[in-house]
């Protein structure tokens, strides 16, 4: 089974079913499938071959959905890039992955141009509503032309389920983003297991405001395509009233969210005036819900089943808590999902019995193939399993289990911050802070925040004779990092604490 074959099956068997609603435009399964095939043909005509990487740098929109399926049909590897990404990092992602095609839209063209100038492998640049006909020496192919029926003829490539379907970049503690390599088998396995325990159906209408570049946002699309449901794609959390309007108008039945999104929507005074009675499933991931959050969600959507879940990009999903367990153990993230085994190990890799604290290990077809071009980082996470030749995933997260094996998050082994449900590498932020003139030393930590989960906080020591302000520092970071990585707080200090060996110590900073 290949990841795009669900779409193709529905396009054949139920062609006029609505697959996607975006800005009130409706696309049937046949619409998406046909356009994706035309785009795949265009990609092939530009020399894209099986295994080539294709960067999709777009907001949540129909073009992004078509691009993902087109890349898969062409046998290529799609690489979703968060549209908040700035030029320097986009260049890094394009060069690290060796991406040969970049698909984006006109509102991002300036950043695309800056990045494409230094991207050495690009042979095709396809833009929706481009603002100029050439970008950084490349002739821009418009999305409309690339998906038209006049596009070249399509050749089905000999893809198998061991081939890579996607590379999703994630923050690493070294500060250098790592590309998580996922095969067709990895992704169909995860999508099948999750949609099975959630009980998704073809008559579901799934709302997705999470970015398609964020793995749980992406999986809403993949799971909708598996069961033949309708995906309602929304671009931003910025205007919560628009989210509620869309949910009521489209009679949404499934709502996947992260804690920050729940905070923004549940705080709306007009929440009760919207008819959300069709909602039957609510899911949370990326960060744990507080008990107060759980109470508020259940009060707002009393008829819906609430699933608390935990996962990481390296295997997509690890656990879920069946809704009937929520009153018994509200703070648990549950147990392993179908067709997956999870357990805790001690520091020597020995399995621990229920009631222990240890690192969570994951075994299943959903576990990644490794990090792109990073054998050392891969070896640190994928270690030999019990069957010769098999590799299992060491999550890097510490959990405890209760007597029945339900898992409770304890801590991360590294210093990655989770803000708005997104991973933030302190090192990546510090690297940018050190570029600011006058910064002598920088230390970044996460501090508790009622809406963000954790907020990014920077401590700075300035060189003598230099001055800057909190806002100037934040502004500089916003220009160079994804917005969620920019510090919310900046504190100027005369010096930073040190370890005995003279390294900056973050212990004691708050």
Among 45, 248, 345, 474, binds another protein (CB under 8 A): 474
Cα dihedral value 310, 313, 316, 319, nearest 10: -20
Alpha helices in 199-272 (DSSP H): 215-227, 240-249, 259-266
CA gap 75, 69 in Å, rounded: 10
Q: Is residue 266 part of the contact set for another protein (CB under 8 A)?
A: no
- The minimum distance between CB 485 and another protein, in angstroms, equals 11
Q: Residues 197-236 vs another protein: string with x where CB under 8 A? A: --------------------------------------xx
377 burial via Cβ count (<10 Å: 0-12, 13-18, 19+): middle
CA gap 505, 295 in Å, rounded: 38
Total residues in contact with another protein, by rule CB under 8 A:
29
- The minimum distance between CB 471 and another protein, in angstroms, equals 6
CA gap 307, 198 in Å, rounded: 8
- The minimum distance between CB 24 and another protein, in angstroms, equals 14
Beta-strand relationship, 141-142 and 124-128: parallel
- The minimum distance between CB 422 and another protein, in angstroms, equals 11
Contact 416, 287 (CB under 8 A): no
Contact 331, 288 (CB under 8 A): yes
- The minimum distance between CB 88 and another protein, in angstroms, equals 13
Q: How many C-beta atoms lie closer than 10 Å to residue 351's C-beta?
A: 12
Among 295, 475, 498, 503, binds another protein (CB under 8 A): 475
Q: Residues 404-423 vs another protein: string with x where CB under 8 A? A: ----------------x---
Contact 255, 304 (CB under 8 A): yes
- The minimum distance between CB 219 and another protein, in angstroms, equals 21
- The minimum distance between CB 482 and another protein, in angstroms, equals 9
Q: Is residue 495 part of the contact set for another protein (CB under 8 A)?
A: no
Angle at Cα 215 formed by Cα 391 and Cα 477, nearest 5°? 110
407 burial via Cβ count (<10 Å: 0-12, 13-18, 19+): buried
Q: Give the closest residue to 425 by CA, choosing from 454, 383, 382.
A: 454
Name the one range near another protein by CB under 8 A: 200-208, 265-273, 284-292, 305-313.
265-273
Among 219, 257, 310, 476, binds another protein (CB under 8 A): 476
- The minimum distance between CB 423 and another protein, in angstroms, equals 17
Among 46, 117, 201, 242, binds another protein (CB under 8 A): 242
Q: Residues 131-160 vs another protein: string with x where CB under 8 A? A: ------------------------------
Return the SS3 of 132.
coil
Q: Is residue 237 part of the contact set for another protein (CB under 8 A)?
A: yes
Q: Is residue 305 part of the contact set for another protein (CB under 8 A)?
A: no
Name the one range near another protein by CB under 8 A: 106-114, 183-191, 278-286, 343-351.
106-114
Q: Is residue 372 part of the contact set for another protein (CB under 8 A)?
A: no
Among 110, 203, 402, 404, binds another protein (CB under 8 A): 110
- The minimum distance between CB 42 and another protein, in angstroms, equals 25
Q: Which phi and psi angles does 319 have, rounded to 5°?
A: -135, 165
- The minimum distance between CB 452 and another protein, in angstroms, equals 8
Q: Is residue 270 part of the contact set for another protein (CB under 8 A)?
A: yes
Contact 271, 265 (CB under 8 A): yes
Q: Is residue 83 part of the contact set for another protein (CB under 8 A)?
A: yes
Residue 451's alpha-carbon distances to 214, 309, 410, 412, in angstroms, are 19, 19, 20, 20
Applying CB under 8 A, which residues contact another protein? Answer: 59, 83-84, 107-108, 110, 235-242, 264, 268-270, 420, 451-452, 471, 474-476, 478-479, 483-484
């Amino acid at each position: 089974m290949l990841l795009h074959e669900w779409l193709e099956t529905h396009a054949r068997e139920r062609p006029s079913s609505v697959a996607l609603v975006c800005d009130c435009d409706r696309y049937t399964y046949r619409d998406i499938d046909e356009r994706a095939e035309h785009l795949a043909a265009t990609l092939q005509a530009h020399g894209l071959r099986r295994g080539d990487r294709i960067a999709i740098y777009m907001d949540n929109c129909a073009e992004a959905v078509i691009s993902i399926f087109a890349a898969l049909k062409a046998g290529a590897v799609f690489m979703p890039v968060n549209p908040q990404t700035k030029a320097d990092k986009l260049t890094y992602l394009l060069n690290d992955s060796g991406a040969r095609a970049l698909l984006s839209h006109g509102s991002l063209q300036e950043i695309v141009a800056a990045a494409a100038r230094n991207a050495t492998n690009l042979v095709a640049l396809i833009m929706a509503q481009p603002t100029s006909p050439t970008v950084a020496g490349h002739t821009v192919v418009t999305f409309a032309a690339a998906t038209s029926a006049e596009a070249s003829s399509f050749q089905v490539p000999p893809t198998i389920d061991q081939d890579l379907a996607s590379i999703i970049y994630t923050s690493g503690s070294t500060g250098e983003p790592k590309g998580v390599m996922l095969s067709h088998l990895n992704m169909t396995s995860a999508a099948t297991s999750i949609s099975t325990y959630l009980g998704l159906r073809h008559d579901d209408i799934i709302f997705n405001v999470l970015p398609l570049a964020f793995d749980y946002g992406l999986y809403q699309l993949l799971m909708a395509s598996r069961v033949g449901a309708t995906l309602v794609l929304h671009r931003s959390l910025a205007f919560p009233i628009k989210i509620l309007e869309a949910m009521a108008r489209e009679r949404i039945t499934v709502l996947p969210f992260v804690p920050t999104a729940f905070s923004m929507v549940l705080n709306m005074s007009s929440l009760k005036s919207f008819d959300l009675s069709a909602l039957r499933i609510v899911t949370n991931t990326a960060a744990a819900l507080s008990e107060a959050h759980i109470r508020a969600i259940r009060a707002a959507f009393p008829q819906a089943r609430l699933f608390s879940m935990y996962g990481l990009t390296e295997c997509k999903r690890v656990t879920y808590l069946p809704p009937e367990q929520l009153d018994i153990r509200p703070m648990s993230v549950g147990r392993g999902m179908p067709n997956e085994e999870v357990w805790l190990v001690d520091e020597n890799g020995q399995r621990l019995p229920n009631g222990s604290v240890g690192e969570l290990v994951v075994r299943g077809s959903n576990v990644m193939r490794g990090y792109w071009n990073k054998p050392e980082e891969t070896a640190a996470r994928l270690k030999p399993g019990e069957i010769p030749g098999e590799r299992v995933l060491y999550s890097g997260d510490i959990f405890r289990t209760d007597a029945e094996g339900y898992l409770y998050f304890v801590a991360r082994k590294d210093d990655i911050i989770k803000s708005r449900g997104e991973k933030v590498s302190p090192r990546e932020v510090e690297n940018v802070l050190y570029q600011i003139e006058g910064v002598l030393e920088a230390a970044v930590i996460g501090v508790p925040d009622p809406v963000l989960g954790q907020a990014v906080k920077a401590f700075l020591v300035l060189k003598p004779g230099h001055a800057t302000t909190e806002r100037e520092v934040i502004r500089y970071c916003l220009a160079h990092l994804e917005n969620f990585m920019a510090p919310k707080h900046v504190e100027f200090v005369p010096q930073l604490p040190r370890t005995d060996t003279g390294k900056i110590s973050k212990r004691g900073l708050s």
